[in-house]
């Protein structure tokens, strides 16, 4: 996708989980989490990969984004 004159494109990951996310419902029998990443590490990795925005979408918790 290319920006038209006067427009700015951004790269964003709008759905990521951190270690604070609740248990994965589809893998609940394994007692797995959606993610084991630290929020700061996740943010730094996204920025290093060129992301302008990152949205933390943890299940059942706000702790990863506070």
What are the C-alpha distances in Å from 65 to residues 5, 8, 23, 37?
35, 26, 17, 12
Show pLDDT as tens, one digit a residue, over the chain (66 residues).
677 888 888 999 999 999 988 776 776 777 777 788 999 999 999 999 999 999 998 888 888 877
Q: Are residues 34 and 21 in contact, defined by beta-carbon separation less than 8 angstroms? A: yes
Considering only CA atoms, which of 41, 36, 37, 33 is closest in space to residue 59?
A: 33
CA separation for the pair 45, 41 (Å, rounded): 6
* pTM (predicted TM-score): 0.71
Considering only CA atoms, which of 48, 41, 31, 32 is closest in space to residue 64?
A: 41
DSSP class of residue 33 equals: B
């Amino acid at each position: 996708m290319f920006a038209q004159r006067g427009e700015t494109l951004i790269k964003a990951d709008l759905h990521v989980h951190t270690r604070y996310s609740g248990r994965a419902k589809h893998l609940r029998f394994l007692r797995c989490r959606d993610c084991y990443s630290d929020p700061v590490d996740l943010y730094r990795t996204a920025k290093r990969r060129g992301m302008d925005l990152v949205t933390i979408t943890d299940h059942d918790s706000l702790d990863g984004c506070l």
